[in-house]
């Protein structure tokens, strides 16, 4: 009943349903035909069922070792553990595209289910836009990247999965990252639908914000998980290489963060309407562009999925239709969107505008640094690279005022503010930040990390003080404080958590400025000193794993007093079927500092053998991912706010429901 043919058929059926979902509701809304509009939710859910069946069939092919399927033969093997047979389905180009379309189908079905409060015409148009994007990707999947293509004769065993991808972190990283990427399709669809209707108001901002926050949460987790994987799998001791593929995910995160903040202004003050619509279009466009760059062969990356110009041409055409079409519609209809919500530059809205400008400026820097090398190669035939020095020099000066504005902005009232009164609420944060500056001088190396670290402390303390002021700490009785804390909107708590998480992540990044490392070649029994600790290679053994041969080292670490801190067990694995060598990093963390060891090559034999070791002392490294997790939890907490969960108030809905 389930097999590659059924999966292929289900994918083709989903494509037909997606095209129907694109055409019927749009035409129905234009002709005021209620039945054609109301069929959109049914089509969206049907499409999701078909896509789920198709994806399930591909997983079954991998689990059953059906090597007559080209995708399974090229990316799996009989000896591969079951977990990686399943997760390996999205560890390649064809499977990842199918996962992309499945998540897009989930988004459409989610709008159908959770968008009951939406006006029918707006909901129909949103689902139509999502259907159109889905149809394009499903057509791409069927015509250029079909995961169900057959091979004859079927090989007795597969070629196996890239060993670097056989890791739990990377097994779950793509679905989370793609959910973030694809999730921004919903705000995009709302933006296009609003342009078609020619209306953006506070209710629209309230409908868009939860979807943008949800996508932002997933993208934050996906980026953090990818950075963590890079840290503990690649064995180079770093967390971000400014690799083009890494940048491709950071770019929509920056504009997505700006979108989340500007949507608040639309909801609260009916301001920044045109800008918010443009951000929604830009964020999803960057998500699509990232997909194009990774799969087109334009960018050379350590973990680009596919280098196939033919597929790149198809995606480029899809980009031209989706991005070009939406921007053309924006140019035509944006002038009709009336602006509102007049506010003073010194206000909460003004701080959010500054936040948007700085985030988009950082985004422009990252786009420039990422795209400059391929354009130079295309136009001038010169091969150049843009690396960490450029990105650090260009982004950190923009990050400093952004952090400063984050601390001040949380204390500013809406519409109009008095700076003197605002700073009177923040004097405690200023004092604590001054102490933080001294700590930063002690812990961090370099002027920019010290400045960033101090401002990160400023953001954390300012957020805490603002929340403390809202619930009346120091102003009223303890009972009243608890009462106020209970009724404080969850979105406010979520914003506080997100800002604290951002500060913690920045502190982690700054802490790495004080990292120390050593690359040594030693015999078993030798000791080296790093940051005052004694690192001793005590033993090296060889063993056979499920589908690899491995060399494992024991490295004991003692402090300056000779007390044992930990024993690390780094490995070097040789996957014979792929003829590929990987490193398994060993990390000891106390959540403040990571002690990080890697074993490299063995030179010589017997007692004369020497081993290359890479040793790292990484202060505050765990805070980078802990802060990202807190940011995502803050976003998720905001989503639990009833005002965002139920959408617009009923009064607002009735006011804007169009008559069919």
Question: Among 141, 147, 104, 98, which Cα is nearest to 126's?
Answer: 104
Tokens encoding 25: 């509701």
- Asked which of 145, 161, 177 is the last residue of a domain, the reply is 161
Domain housing 89: 1-161
One domain, residues 30 and 141: yes
One domain, residues 560 and 608: yes
One domain, residues 104 and 212: no
Tokens encoding 612: 């290359």
Whether 654 is in a domain gets the answer: no
One domain, residues 417 and 361: no
- Asked which of 464, 494, 514 is the last residue of a domain, the reply is 514
| Distance (Å, whole) CA 330 – CA 324 | 10
One domain, residues 368 and 222: yes
Question: Among 279, 260, 627, 222, which Cα is nearest to 463's?
Answer: 627
Whether 647 is in a domain gets the answer: no
- Asked which of 136, 161, 186 is the last residue of a domain, the reply is 161
Structural domain count, the chain? 4
Whether 351 is in a domain gets the answer: yes
One domain, residues 496 and 592: no
One domain, residues 227 and 298: yes
One domain, residues 369 and 230: yes
Q: Name which residue leads in pLDDT, 235 or 194.
A: 194
One domain, residues 171 and 263: yes
Phi-psi region of 620 (alpha: psi -120 to 50; beta: other; left: phi over 0): left
One domain, residues 266 and 399: no
One domain, residues 25 and 13: yes
Question: Is the per-residue pLDDT at 83 higher than 50?
Answer: yes
* pLDDT of 172: 84
* pLDDT of 32: 86
Question: Is the per-residue pLDDT at 62 higher than 90?
Answer: yes
| Distance (Å, whole) CA 371 – CA 364 | 10
Question: Which whole number is the average pLDDT over 603-629?
Answer: 94
Whether 293 is in a domain gets the answer: yes
Whether 412 is in a domain gets the answer: yes
Question: Which whole number is the average pLDDT over 234-240?
Answer: 86
Question: Is the per-residue pLDDT at 305 higher than 80?
Answer: no
Pair 253, 277: CB distance under 8 Å: no
Pairing state between β 571-575 and 580-584 = antiparallel
pLDDT, tens digit, 9 for 90 and up, residues 397-437? 999 999 999 988 888 888 887 777 777 777 888 888 888 77
Whether 614 is in a domain gets the answer: yes
One domain, residues 488 and 585: no
Contacts of 356 (CB under 8 A, 6+ apart): 258, 261, 262, 272, 275, 279
Whether 651 is in a domain gets the answer: no
Whether 634 is in a domain gets the answer: no
Question: Among 240, 235, 212, 247, which Cα is nearest to 362's?
Answer: 247
For residue 614, the cross-strand partners are 519, 598
**Is residue 658 very low, low, confident or very high in pLDDT (cuts 50, 70, 90)?**
very low
């Amino acid at each position: 009943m389930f097999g590659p043919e059924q999966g292929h058929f289900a994918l083709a059926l989903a494509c037909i349903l997606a095209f129907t979902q694109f055409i019927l509701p749009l035409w129905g809304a234009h002709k005021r035909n209620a039945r054609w509009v109301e069929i959109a939710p049914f089509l969206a859910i049907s499409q999701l069922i078909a896509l789920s069946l198709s994806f399930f069939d591909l997983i079954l092919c991998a689990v059953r070792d059906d090597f007559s399927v080209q995708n399974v033969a090229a990316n799996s093997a009989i000896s591969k553990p079951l977990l990686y047979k399943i997760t390996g389905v999205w560890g390649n180009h064809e499977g990842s595209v199918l996962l992309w379309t499945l998540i897009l189908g989930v988004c459409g079905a989610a709008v159908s289910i959770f968008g009951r409060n939406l006006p029918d015409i707006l909901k129909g148009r949103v689902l139509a836009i999502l259907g159109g994007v889905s149809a394009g990707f499903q057509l791409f999947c069927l015509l250029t990247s079909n995961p169900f293509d057959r091979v004859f004769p079927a090989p007795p065993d597969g070629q196996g999965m890239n060993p670097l991808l056989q890791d739990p972190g990377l097994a779950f990283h793509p679905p989370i990252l793609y959910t973030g990427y694809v999730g921004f399709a919903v705000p995009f669809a709302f933006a296009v639908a609003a342009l078609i209707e020619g209306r953006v108001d506070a209710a629209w901002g309230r409908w868009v914000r939860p979807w943008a926050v949800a996508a932002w949460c997933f993208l934050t987790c996906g980026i953090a998980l990818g950075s963590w994987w890079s840290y503990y799998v690649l064995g180079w001791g770093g967390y971000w290489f400014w690799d083009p593929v890494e940048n491709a995910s950071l770019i929509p995160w920056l504009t997505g963060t700006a979108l989340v903040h500007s949507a608040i202004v639309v909801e609260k003050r009916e301001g920044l309407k045109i800008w918010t619509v443009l951000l929604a279009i830009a964020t999803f466009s960057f998500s699509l562009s990232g997909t194009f760059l990774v799969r087109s062969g334009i960018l050379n990356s350590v973990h680009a999925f596919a280098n196939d110009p033919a597929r790149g041409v198809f995606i480029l055409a899809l980009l031209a239709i989706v991005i070009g079409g939406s921007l053309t519609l924006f140019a035509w209809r944006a002038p009709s969107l009336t602006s509102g919500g007049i506010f003073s530059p010194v206000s909460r809205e003004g701080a959010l505008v500054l936040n948007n400008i700085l985030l988009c400026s950082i985004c422009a820097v990252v786009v420039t640094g990422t795209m400059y090398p391929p354009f130079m190669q295309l136009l001038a035939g010169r091969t150049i690279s843009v690396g960490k020095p450029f990105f650090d020099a260009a982004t950190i000066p923009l990050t400093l005022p952004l952090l400063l504005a984050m601390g001040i902005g949380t204390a500013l009232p809406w519409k109009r503010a008095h700076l003197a009164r605002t700073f009177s609420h923040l004097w405690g944060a200023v004092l604590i930040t001054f102490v933080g500056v001294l700590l930063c001088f002690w812990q961090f190396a370099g002027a920019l990390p010290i400045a960033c670290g101090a401002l990160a402390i400023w953001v954390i303390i300012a957020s805490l003080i603002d929340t403390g002021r809202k619930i009346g700490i120091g102003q009223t009785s303890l009972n009243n404080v608890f009462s106020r804390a209970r009724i404080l909107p969850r979105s406010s708590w979520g914003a506080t958590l997100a800002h604290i998480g951002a500060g913690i992540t920045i502190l982690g990044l700054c802490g790495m400025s004080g990292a120390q490392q050593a690359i040594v070649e030693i015999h078993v029994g030798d000791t080296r000193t790093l940051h005052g600790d004694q690192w001793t290679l005590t033993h090296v053994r060889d063993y056979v794993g499920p589908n690899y041969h491995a060399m494992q080292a024991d490295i004991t670490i003692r402090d300056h007093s000779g007390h044992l801190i930990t024993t690390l067990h780094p490995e070097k694995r040789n996957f014979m079927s792929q003829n590929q060598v990987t490193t398994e990093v060993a990390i000891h963390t106390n959540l403040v500092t990571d002690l990080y060891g890697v074993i490299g090559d063995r030179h010589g034999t017997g007692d004369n053998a020497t081993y290359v070791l890479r040793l790292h002392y990484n202060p505050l490294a765990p805070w980078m991912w802990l802060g990202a997790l807190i940011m995502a939890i803050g976003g998720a907490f905001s989503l639990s706010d009833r005002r965002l969960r139920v959408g617009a108030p009923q009064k607002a809905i009735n006011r804007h429901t169009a008559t069919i």
